[in-house]
Structures are given as structure tokens and as C-alpha cells.
């Protein structure tokens, strides 16, 4: 890494002059400014956010695209993203883009016009054609067909853990309960991990899936309950699916966890005051948020990242449903 001193030496000026050029404060002769700028470029000198800002002439704002801030997983994520951005003096612009690709495209335009310095996105809209690898974007949970950096929880491992925990709790034929998203989503790996682990352990299992989004809860759960009335273990793709299933099952006299063990995914319950407290695969939301921001900053500095997908380890959080 080059230092500000290296830049001053190469440009043949004092360190204070380099600082004045970087911060754009005080008088610097055009010729001196040119020398300093060239030295910065030659040494690929990236001092910190001040320099970044200077180099890119970008705003100190990052846009966060979420389907809806109202969802507890997304609001927790936004909380930590704002906190991490704030440490570097960046502001957060929030966009609820659920079902509105045109809103997402608008923010991508802002990015191209340097009105925002970067974009963090959880998008379920189909905007692949408008994404390029050159612009600083970090995706959360969703892969694009192009090489956009993605931060996600380790969904496959989560699926494996869920299968293991259901078996450990006594389930003989656990069922995966999920959806089939329109575009490839990391959440598909929850099923894959579940299936792989079941096959590895020689456990009988079943998979129940319907196209995403599920618009008719009655149809979705009635069909599940007619096919898997006697399931003794259920791994639901999200906590909300788990909660809805438990509610409907209990109306049929199916008891949780006595008759059926249930594990969700997300960890949206923050406190133990509302029941059932779900047994769940907890998303490492804080780590995902901070990692996504740090990677975005590296992309904003023009750095190439080592990996395309960063998977953050998950943990099983036992509740009242296993």
C-alpha cells in the first residue's frame, strides 16, 4: 500500500500539498495539482473515504433496495447497514422496491450519474439486463446472472442443519416446505442442503414446493396438509411459513412439537414473549449487513473482489417447536 508520503515524494511536493489536493482545500497551482494527481494515479494511492470521494466525485450516499422495510428481516438488515455506513460517513437512501422494477432501475440510473456512490440490493425483480459488473453493487441473497458480488447466509448449511436437528428431535420422515422462485435465488440452497443431508444420512424425506410468490395461503397449506397430514418433521423455508403451518396444523389437532417438529429459517423473533417461539436457522443479519457494506466500499474503490459469493455461517436456534 502506498502512503501519502510516497505520493508527496513522487510528485516532489510536501505532504500538506498532497492533502490540500485530496481535500480540495487551499490554493494549489494547477501544475502542482496535476503532478499530485498523476502521482496518486501511478501509485494507485487510496488513502481513505476522503480520497475516494475526491477521486470519484461521487456523493456520500449508498442506496439500499429492499422489497419492503416493513419486514423484520429487512428492517434489522437496514439497521446494521445504516450503522456500518455511518462509521464511514456515508448516508443511506432507502427504497422499497417490492414488485416495482422501475424503482430499482431508477436507482441504478442514479448510480450511473454518480448521485449515489453504490447500491446494496435485495431484489426479486428481473433487472439483470440493467446490471453491469463495472458499477459498485453488492447483492444480498440474490444472484444475478452476471458477476455481481453477493452476500448471503450459508443457506445450504442451514438446510443441512435443519435436517439434522429434525432427525435429532425424532422425525422419521421430515418434509421440506418451500417455494420455487422465478429467478435463481440463494434460498433454493436451503432445500438442496436439506435433501443432500437426508440422502447422506439415509433418512426418508419429502419435498413440497409451489411457485413463488404464494398468493393463496389456503391453497398452499391445504394442499400441504392433504399430502403430508402425518408429517413428523417440517423444515419451512422461512419462519413465516413455519408459523402459518403451525397455526393451520393446530386447528386440525396436530400438536407441535409432540406430533410434528417444526424448524423455520430467518430468526425474525427478537424476544420470547410471543408463542410459539420457533426453532429456526438464524440468519446472521448483522454480519451479513456489515460484510455487504465493507465489500461495497472495496468495490467503490475499484477493487476486484476475490469471490463472487460470500456465505456467512448460520446457527440453529432452538425454540419451542422441536
One of 72, 88, 196, 301 touching a second copy (CB under 8 A): 72
Rounded to whole angstroms, the Cα distance separating 143 from 179 reads: 17
Nearest CA to 222 out of 238, 237, 239, 208 is that of 208
249 binds a second copy (CB under 8 A): no
The number of residues in the chain equals 322
Which residue number, 46 or 93, has a Cβ lying nearer to a second copy? 93
Q: Which of 8, 21, 51, 78 binds a second copy (CB under 8 A)?
A: 78
In angstroms, give the least distance from the CB of 242 to a second copy. 9
Using DSSP bridges, classify how beta strands 91-96 and 61-66 pair: parallel, antiparallel or unpaired: parallel
- Kindly state whether residue 225 participates in binding a second copy, applying the rule CB under 8 A: no
Please enumerate in sequence order all residues whose Cβ is within 8 A of that of 256, keeping only pairs 6 or more positions apart, or say none. Answer: 246, 249, 250, 262, 276, 320, 321
Q: Which of 33, 103, 294, 317 binds a second copy (CB under 8 A)?
A: 103
Output 134 or 273, the one with its CB closest to a second copy. 273
Q: Any contact of residue 87 with a second copy (CB under 8 A)?
A: no
Which of 94, 201, 207, 227 is close enough to bind a second copy by CB under 8 A?
A: 94
The SS3 of residue 177 is strand
Q: Which residues contact 29 (CB under 8 A, 6 or more apart)?
A: none
Cα–Cα distance between 45 and 2 in angstroms, integer? 6
Q: Which of 86, 199, 216, 308 binds a second copy (CB under 8 A)?
A: 86
Check binding of 83 to a second copy (CB under 8 A): yes
What gap in Å lies between CA 78 and CA 72, rounded to an integer?
A: 10
Please report, as ranges, the residues that interact with a second copy according to CB under 8 A: 61, 64, 68-72, 74-76, 78-79, 82-83, 86, 91-96, 103, 240, 243-244, 246-247, 269, 271-276
Amino acid at each position: 500500500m502506498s502512503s501519502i508520503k510516497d505520493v508527496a515524494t513522487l510528485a516532489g511536493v510536501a505532504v500538506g500539498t498532497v492533502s490540500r489536493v485530496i481535500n480540495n482545500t487551499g490554493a494549489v497551482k494547477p501544475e502542482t495539482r496535476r503532478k499530485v494527481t498523476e502521482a496518486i494515479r501511478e501509485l494507485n494511492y487510496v488513502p481513505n473515504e476522503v480520497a475516494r470521494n475526491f477521486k470519484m466525485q461521487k456523493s456520500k450516499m449508498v442506496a439500499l433496495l429492499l422489497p419492503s422495510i416493513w419486514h423484520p428481516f429487512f428492517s434489522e438488515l437496514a439497521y446494521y447497514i445504516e450503522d456500518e455506513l455511518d462509521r464511514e460517513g456515508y448516508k443511506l437512501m432507502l427504497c422499497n422496491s417490492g414488485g416495482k422494477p422501475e424503482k430499482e432501475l431508477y436507482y441504478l440510473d442514479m448510480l450511473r450519474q454518480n448521485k449515489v456512490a453504490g447500491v446494496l440490493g435485495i431484489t426479486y425483480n428481473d433487472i439483470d439486463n440493467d446490471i453491469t459488473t463495472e458499477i459498485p453493487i453488492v447483492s444480498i441473497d440474490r444472484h444475478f446472472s452476471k458477476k455481481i458480488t453477493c452476500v448471503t447466509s450459508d443457506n445450504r448449511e442451514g438446510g443441512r442443519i435443519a435436517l439434522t436437528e429434525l432427525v435429532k428431535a425424532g422425525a422419521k420422515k421430515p418434509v421440506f416446505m418451500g417455494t420455487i422462485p422465478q429467478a435463481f435465488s440463494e434460498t433454493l440452497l436451503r432445500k438442496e442442503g436439506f435433501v443432500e443431508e437426508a440422502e447422506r444420512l439415509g433418512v426418508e424425506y419429502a419435498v413440497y414446493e409451489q411457485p413463488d410468490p404464494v398468493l393463496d395461503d389456503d391453497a398452499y397449506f391445504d394442499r400441504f396438509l392433504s399430502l403430508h397430514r402425518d408429517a413428523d418433521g417440517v423444515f419451512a423455508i422461512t419462519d413465516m411459513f413455519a408459523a402459518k403451518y403451525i397455526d393451520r396444523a393446530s386447528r386440525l389437532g396436530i400438536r407441535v412439537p409432540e406430533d410434528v417438529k417444526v424448524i423455520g429459517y430467518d430468526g425474525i423473533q427478537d424476544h420470547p414473549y410471543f408463542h410459539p417461539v420457533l426453532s429456526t436457522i438464524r440468519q446472521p443479519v448483522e454480519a451479513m449487513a456489515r460484510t455487504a457494506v465493507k465489500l461495497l466500499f472495496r468495490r467503490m474503490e475499484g477493487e476486484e473482489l476475490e469471490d463472487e459469493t460470500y456465505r456467512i455461517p448460520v446457527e440453529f436456534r432452538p425454540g419451542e417447536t422441536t
